[in-house]
Amino acid sequence: MASVFGKNIQVSVWGQSHSPAIGVTVDGLPAGEQIDEEVLQEFLNRRAPGQADYATTRREEDRPEFLSGLVDHVTCGAPLTAMIRNTNTRPQHYENLRDVPRPGHGDYAIGQKFHGFQDVSGGGHTSGRMTAPICIAGGICMQILSRRGVEVRAHIAKLGGVTDTVPDYCAQTPLPKLPAGRFPTFSEEAGKNMHKAILAAKRQADSIGGVIECIVTGVPAGVGDPMFDGIENRMAAALFGIPAVKGVEFGNGFAAAELLGSQNNDPFVVKDGQIKTETNRHGGILGGVTSGMPIVFRVAIKPTPSIGQPQRSVRLSTKAEEELVIKGRHDPCIVPRAVPVVEAVAAIVLLDFLRK
């Protein structure tokens, strides 16, 4: 199924950019978990377009209405459904895209799949707007994980040639939370420079990509399954569900491919009476199963394909090449807003594993 994932916790994401509503159903949450809607809202606000000059100017309050699954803010074991109304729907400046696909977008491929019946308006079901329901599900999972000692933190690791680093990939204490409104880097300096790179792209009516890194602390050793159902398998599968993700790597990832074994292996050591690895090049996962070290992974986000520059495309009905100028409001860089989405997906996948 296109829009369902998970095994013990199953998340079903529904809605289109301009349908009456978007939402999510989460089946399999443990019963008896209090959901703090204020904390959830703060999390959702990190994704919301807000006033940042690097985001779309579309304004929408992503305030979910809970339709099922809660009794007095506590999960009751039944599927939880939350909905956000789309107040800003059915504009007319998208219909052209059914016949003239945008380069880098799914318009053409999805049109072939659905024989032209797909909802093109605002990107339809594959719009970045669909990450709002993912964040609702993920934000709820983060609250539940947090009570079990598991904390999920992502940041922009690389953007426009600027790098943000994590102080210690072996530390078992969670990294600081990055609040809504703040550019999502640990180093403010790095954030400022990334921000500049985004504005530079914006000025050229262009867009820019980046790399998001996620660190999860508190997952015990022995979680996951070897071979095809490990943390890496299911995490990667879910992460590629975030629009614009084109790569996923764990621990040293692609850099490991350029190393020798003696440079990439992590020696086992005893620290405070616990078995640890001295370094964390493996990113907390060995053989598909957690080692007890922080889980570390990175996702590559391509530059959003919606750019203001004229582009070459083809009119499908006539097979004539033509120039396309994309209208509408678009983010010059979706990476900052994708940071909480990566956290959300990580939280859903890990709670799913821990539910077993």
> Minimum Å distance from CB 80 to a copy of itself?
8
> Which of residues 57 and 317 has its CB atom nearest to a copy of itself in the complex?
317
d(CA 167, CA 76) in angstroms, rounded, equals: 40
Please give the structure tokens belonging to residue 73: 């803010």
Please give the structure tokens belonging to residue 37: 């809607």
> Minimum Å distance from CB 55 to a copy of itself?
15
Whether the CB-CB separation of 250 and 297 falls below 8 Å is answered with: yes
Whether the CB-CB separation of 346 and 5 falls below 8 Å is answered with: no
> Which of residues 166 and 300 has its CB atom nearest to a copy of itself in the complex?
300
d(CA 283, CA 299) in angstroms, rounded, equals: 13
> Which of residues 34 and 57 has its CB atom nearest to a copy of itself in the complex?
34
> Minimum Å distance from CB 338 to a copy of itself?
11
> Which of residues 27 and 42 has its CB atom nearest to a copy of itself in the complex?
27
| Three-state DSSP class for residue 298 | strand
Whether the CB-CB separation of 69 and 80 falls below 8 Å is answered with: yes
Whether the CB-CB separation of 243 and 341 falls below 8 Å is answered with: no
> Minimum Å distance from CB 52 to a copy of itself?
18
> Which of residues 179 and 292 has its CB atom nearest to a copy of itself in the complex?
292
93: amino acid identity, one letter: H
> Which of residues 27 and 60 has its CB atom nearest to a copy of itself in the complex?
27
> Minimum Å distance from CB 54 to a copy of itself?
14
d(CA 42, CA 65) in angstroms, rounded, equals: 15
> Minimum Å distance from CB 308 to a copy of itself?
9
d(CA 312, CA 93) in angstroms, rounded, equals: 18
> Which of residues 78 and 181 has its CB atom nearest to a copy of itself in the complex?
78
Smallest CA-to-CA distance from 352 within 237, 202, 208 is with 237
How many CB atoms sit inside 10 A of residue 73's CB? Answer: 11
> Minimum Å distance from CB 209 to a copy of itself?
4
